[in-house]
Amino acid sequence: MTPPPRTSAVAPPTTPQDIVEAAGHPSGSGNVKPHYDSRLANEDLAPLRTQKWSWYNIFAFWMSDVHSVGGYVTAGSLFALGIAAWQVLVALVVGIVIVQIFTNLVAKPSQKTGVPYPVINRAIFGVKGANIPAIIRGLIAIAWYGVQTFLAAQSLNIVFLKFFPGSAALLDVSFLGLSALGWISYSILWVAQVALFWNGMEVIRRFIDWAGPAVYVVMIVLAVYLISQAGWENISLDLSDPAQPDVGFWGSLGLMFMAIGVVVSYFSGPMLNFGDFARYGKSFGAVKKGNFWGLPVNFLFFSLLVVITASATVPVFGELITDPIHTVERIDTPVAILLGGLTFVTATVGINIVANFIAPAFDFSNVAPQKISWRTGGMIAAVGSVFLLPWNWYSDATAIHYSLGLLAALIGPLFGLLIAGYYIAARQRIRTDDMFTMSETGAYWYRNGYNPNALKALLWAGIPTIVIAVLPKLIADLGLFDISWIGNFTWFIGCGLGFLAFTVLERIDPRVPTFDGETEGISDGTVTEDES
C-alpha cells in the first residue's frame, strides 16, 4: 500500500523579477520550481537554467588549484624522495591521470543535472542523509581555508617587512599565538577573499581565469632569472640528498607508489566536490577537455617548472629552497619581493576560493536552504576558520594527522559511494526534481529521508580507513614497528571499500531507483548529447 504524501513546505517559484542571485549568476539562474520543498531548495542549490562555462574556465580552475605554495612544495618534495627524476615523472603522470579519470566520473552527474555536489548526494544518501557527506566535506574545507589564508599571510608579511621596515616591531607583539603583523596580513587577506566570494561565481570565474596564467608568467620569469644566475649545466631534475643511501629496485618502486598516492591525496578534496564547478560546464565534453588541459598537461608543466626553479637555488643561494616564498625573499630586490610576494598571495587566494570556500558554501546551504544561502554558508566557513587558529596547529604534524586525518580519511569512502551510487546502482539515471521533495513517495525519501545502504557502507568503509590512517602512526610514535607509509594510500583504500560496500548492499537489498522505461524528468547520463 502506498503511504499518503507527506505535507511539504512549497518553495516560491522563480520569476524574472527575482533579485536573488544563484551563486552570483543573473537572476533566475537557479530554476526553483513551484513544487520544490523550501527545506531542500533555494536559488543556489536548484538546477541551473543555463550552463555556460567553457573548457578554458575549467582549465583555469585547475590552474588556480595547482598554482599555490602548497602545490609548489608538494611537487618539489616528490623530486626529493631519493628516486630518479624519470621515476618521479612516471609517478606524476600515473597519479595525475588517475585524478583526471576520477574527476571526470564525479563531474558527470552534476553537469548533467546542473546541481552541486551535496545535492547530487541526495540520490545516493537520501534527501536528508546527503547532509552527512556535505558536513564532512565542509569541515575539512574550513580547516584548510584557515591554513591557506595563513600561508598567504606569510607571503604578505615579507612584502610589509621589505617596504615598511618599521613593521618588524610588530613581530614582537603577539595575540593568540600570532604576531600583530601576522594578524594584519591575515585580516587583509581574509577580507579580500570574502569580498571576492561575496561578488559571486561569475566574478570568481573571472578571477581564476586571470590568476592561473598570471602565476605562470611570474614563475617562468623566476625560473629564467635563476637559471641565468646558475647556468643551465648546473640544473638537475633530481633534488634528493646525494648522501641518501640507494633504496634499490623494490625501494624505488615503493617510493613511486608513494608519490602516486601523494598526488591523488593532494587533489582529493577539490576532486570530491568538483561537481560544484562541473555543474556550470556547458557540456560534459567541455568539462572533460578542461580537465585534460588542467590536470595532466598543466600539472606536469608546473612540476617541471618547480623542480627546475628549486634546483637552481642550490648554485645560486648555496642551499636547496623548496618554498617559493623563501626563494623570492632571498633574491632581496624590491621588485622581485613585491611581484613574487603578491603573486603567491594571488595563487593561494585562488586555491582557497576554489577548494576551500565554495565547497562549504554549498555544503552548509544544503543543510538548511531556507535559512542558509550560498553566501551565508561561505561566511560560516570564513568565520569558523579564524576560530580554529590554524597557525597554532598547522606546524604540529601530530595535530594535523589526528584531527584532519580523521575527516580526510572519509573522502575516499564518500567518493566510492558516489561513484557506485551513480554509475552502478542508479545506472546514471536520476529524477532531478525528486531531489527537491520531502514527500514520502519521492524516489529519494528511502527510509525517513536516509538510504540505510549508504549509511552502512559509509561505516563499513569509513571505520577501517580511519583506523588505517591513524593507528600506524600511533604505533610508530610508541617506538614499535613503522608502517605509517600506508597513510599515503587511505584515499585508495577508502574509495575501494566504499565502492565495494555500497555495490554489494545495493545488490542484496536494492534501494536506489533506476527508472527503467521512464524518460520524463529523467537525467540520463548514458545518452550522448551535443558536446560542442
pLDDT for residue 532 is more than 50: no
pLDDT for residue 389 is more than 50: yes
pLDDT for residue 393 is more than 50: yes
> What pLDDT does 355 receive?
77
Q: Residue 530 — pLDDT band, cuts 50, 70, 90? A: low
Residue, of 529 and 469, whose pLDDT is higher:
469
**CA dist list (Å): 353 to 117, 211, 299:** 16, 12, 19
The residues near 203 (Cβ < 8 Å, ≥ 6 apart) are: 24, 196
Length of the chain in residues, anyone?
532
Per-residue cell: 249: 629496485
> What pLDDT does 8 receive?
44
Q: What does the pLDDT look like over 210-264, one tens digit per residue? A: 888 888 888 888 889 999 999 998 888 877 766 677 777 788 898 899 889 888 8
Q: Name the range with the highest mean pLDDT among 30-39, 142-151, 253-262, 432-441.
A: 432-441
Query: Residue 361: which of 184, 196, 151 has the closest Cα?
Result: 196
Torsion of CA 131, 137, 139, 140, to 10 degrees: 170
Cα(407)–Cα(136) distance, rounded to whole angstroms? 7
Q: What is the mean pLDDT of residues 361-374?
A: 90
pLDDT for residue 480 is more than 50: yes
Per-residue cell: 448: 525517513
Q: Is the pTM of this model over 0.85?
A: yes
Q: What does the pLDDT look like over 267-288, one tens digit per residue? A: 888 899 999 999 999 999 999 9
